[in-house]
Amino acid sequence: MASRSHRRGAARPARDGAPRRRVPLRLLLPLLVLVALAAMLMLRGYVHSEILADHRVGKPAPTDRVPKEILEGGPVIDARAGRTESLGVPDHRLVLTFDDGPDPTWTPRVLDVLKKHDAHAVFFVTGTMASRYPDLVERMVDEGHEIGLHTFNHPDLSLQSKKRIDWELSQNQLAITGAAGIRTSLFRPPYSSFSAAMDNETWPVTQYIGSRGYLTVVNNTDSEDWKRPGVDEIIRRATPEDGEGAIVLMHDSGGDRSQTVAALDRFLPDLKEQGYEFDNLTEALGAPSAHSPVTGADLWKGKAWIFLVQASEKITGVLVVGLAIIGTLVIARFVLMLLLSGAHARRVRRRGFRWGPPVTEPVTVLVPAYNEAKCIENTVRSLMASDHPIEILVIDDGSTDGTARIVESMGLPNVRVIRQLNAGKPAALNRGLANARYDIVVMMDGDTVFEPSTVRELVQPFGDPRVGAVAGNAKVGNKDSLIGAWQHIEYVMGFNLDRRMYDVLRCMPTIPGAVGAFRRSALEPIGGMSDDTLAEDTDVTMALHRAGWRVVYAENARAWTEAPETVQQLWSQRYRWSYGTMQAIWKHRRAVIEKGPSGRFGRVGLPFVSLFMIVAPLLAPLIDVFLLYGIVFGPTQKTIVAWLGVLAIQAVCAAYAFRLDRERMTHLISLPLQQILYRQLMYVVLLQSWITALTGGRLRWQKLRRTGVVEAPVTGAVPGRRDRRSDDRRPVA
């Protein structure tokens, strides 16, 4: 029921007269956010070697096709321009090399020790680590050390194609360029050792890399520090014999390097006393620097790469924090719901519980109706079966389908029809309030049917003079479709279980428009129903809290409503609900700083409602995003177990909610699918509401076309649904 709506988002005609369709913002922006998020996750996975990583290591091969001068030569192999040469380091010259970094913990300590002892070294960095820690690469260059390539993802290049080798080199260079503004001509292949270990599989790779302009640097002294054999053993293995020059292999990444740092602090001064010099490679060879500055477009490409990697690190870091927060919130909310809803059920169901003296006086039932011809007869007949004395006011809000005539033609006693020009639901309800004969007023929608006991159960809490409003138990009457079943789960678990919790916390955010009751004496001082927001039911409920009235939940006051049956209908309804809730929260924001009942609601109710109805649902898809990422890129088993754990918690809560509401458990079969699909739809709807709120847009009412499938209940039976012959279920645009 709503005011007349206007056409929105119509396709504009193209120049040739044909309609030109545009992707609506509500779809385009979430899609762009999803694509950007996926790109950031993929980029993070790439630089963390979770994507495109190849951890295979080739087996030893024969050496008959490797030149003898390479096998017996020095650790520097020059295969550039077809050459086959090897070079060694002069005596009393040591070139310290560090592989696999930079590491945020150990590389700074290694650099500190080198600086302390005025020594230079060569750092063979991987592209993944250089991309993640560019400041350390820059520090290496600034302090006079040389940088060498160690591939991007650290694969065994003997198992890779030339295309993959080129990719590894170019991406490694890109990361170094973005970090320090240079290119390097030094390269060390992963899993390499001495030149004598070159074989028929690795030599062709060395030749190809030489053809790309790189010097291949292996080693002739291996500290084996990665085994963590102890400081003394690392020093012994790193020390060459008889004053010979050497290239020493060490590591500044890949695990605990405390022994490496400690050994280095002793190794440097000890060997300096023996006459050794610690230079970078080109200094030791007396050759031009391996570094060359990069300018122009190549430099900006490198900087752009570093920027994107850093952005992906920060964004995914925020997402991980968000995931932890939402996980904590989800679990905390479920635990709170279980505890407090159980406490609520025990309190209201215990023997002898009464709100106060029985409420037996007549009440007024307001039925605002706009074009409800298909539903209004069912609605009114269900009210006539009520076992509590009532008068019925049907306020026809300018219907054009004969809604008012249908009610009048029924000729029922205690039923009045009030006609008005189309002015909207709040105006219709206020018109009904002005014409009501009784102080207690029940409000319902024109597409809802009551059970015979609904009104009686709904008004009993007014036996407590502190109660100003009562929320009933709204249920889905058309739950035989998949969308209907999902909404049935949502109503029982997400709405009614929540209402029990909010009742105990005394911060019920919404009296459902389908079934609620109010004291007219409570509504009049706050101005009745307001049209300031699209969620007049939430707005008035918050206003009653601020005025000091209690708002409670009557679980046995059941009403059966026709839920949307298509995605488009559901979208329209939930968009209005979520945006209207945001409006109501914003309207009552000053309650946070006020005193008395208003301040209590502002400092307890508003944060609680904002957190669990606005913020948490927006973050909930992170669970599914990381589920998909974990399944594809690992750890798959742990990811699936974690997601199943969350689903199990939800299933327990849902089963408990169904038990409290005495519902059949068979409807929970579709719960997993609901969590995968339905939640994503609600996320996009909420995101659209945020966009509308932040851009200052104004959403109009959208009336859903009803089919009248929910029939009036009979005593002791659940309302059924009749066969429908019309497929006219699209929302009125």
Question: Pick the catalytic residue: 48, 120, 145, 251?
Answer: 251
What whole-number distance in Å separates Cα of residue 387 and Cα of residue 356?
Answer: 20
Q: How many residues appear in the chain?
A: 733
User: Which residue from 494, 684, 663, 480 is spatially nearest to 563, judged by alpha carbons?
Assistant: 480
User: Which residue from 193, 192, 209, 107 is spatially nearest to 155, judged by alpha carbons?
Assistant: 192
* Residue carrying the six token digits 């020390």: 239
Strands 550-561 and 467-476 turn out to be parallel
- In order of 236, 342, 469, 500, the CA distances from 348 in angstroms are 79, 10, 17, 10
Quickly count: other Cβ atoms within 10 Å of residue 363's Cβ: 23
User: Which residue from 678, 685, 681, 710 is spatially nearest to 699, judged by alpha carbons?
Assistant: 685
What whole-number distance in Å separates Cα of residue 198 and Cα of residue 186?
Answer: 18
**Are 614 and 606 a contacting pair, CB within 8 Å?**
no
Quickly count: other Cβ atoms within 10 Å of residue 418's Cβ: 17
User: Which residue from 42, 283, 47 is spatially nearest to 178, judged by alpha carbons?
Assistant: 47
> What does DSSP assign to residue 523?
H
Catalytic site includes residue 251 = yes
Quickly count: other Cβ atoms within 10 Å of residue 576's Cβ: 21
Strands (E) in 445-603, as ranges, are 448-450, 467-476, 516-519, 550-561
Structure tokens at 674: 């609901």
DSSP 205-257: HHHHHHHTT-EEE--SEE--GGG---HHHHHHHHSPSTT--EEEEEESSSS--
The pair phi, psi for residue 22, each rounded to 5°, is -120, 145
Catalytic site includes residue 447 = no
Q: What angle do CA 101, 308, 154 make, to 5 degrees?
A: 30
Angle between helix 425-435 and 536-546 (nearest 10): 60
Distance of CA 575 to the CA centre of its chain: 19
Quickly count: other Cβ atoms within 10 Å of residue 322's Cβ: 14
DSSP 161-196: -HHHHHHHHHHHHHHHHHHHSEEE-EE--TT---GG
Question: Pick the catalytic residue: 48, 99, 225, 545?
Answer: 99
Cβ neighbours of residue 710 under 8 Å, at least 6 residues apart?
375, 378, 447, 448, 449, 477, 478, 560, 561, 562, 719, 720, 721
Question: What is the sign of the dihedral through the CA atoms of 451, 454, 457 and 460?
Answer: negative
Angle between helix 296-349 and 636-660 (nearest 10): 30
Structure tokens at 167: 């990719």
Cβ neighbours of residue 635 under 8 Å, at least 6 residues apart?
none
What whole-number distance in Å separates Cα of residue 395 and Cα of residue 418?
Answer: 5
Q: Which residues are catalytic?
A: 99, 251
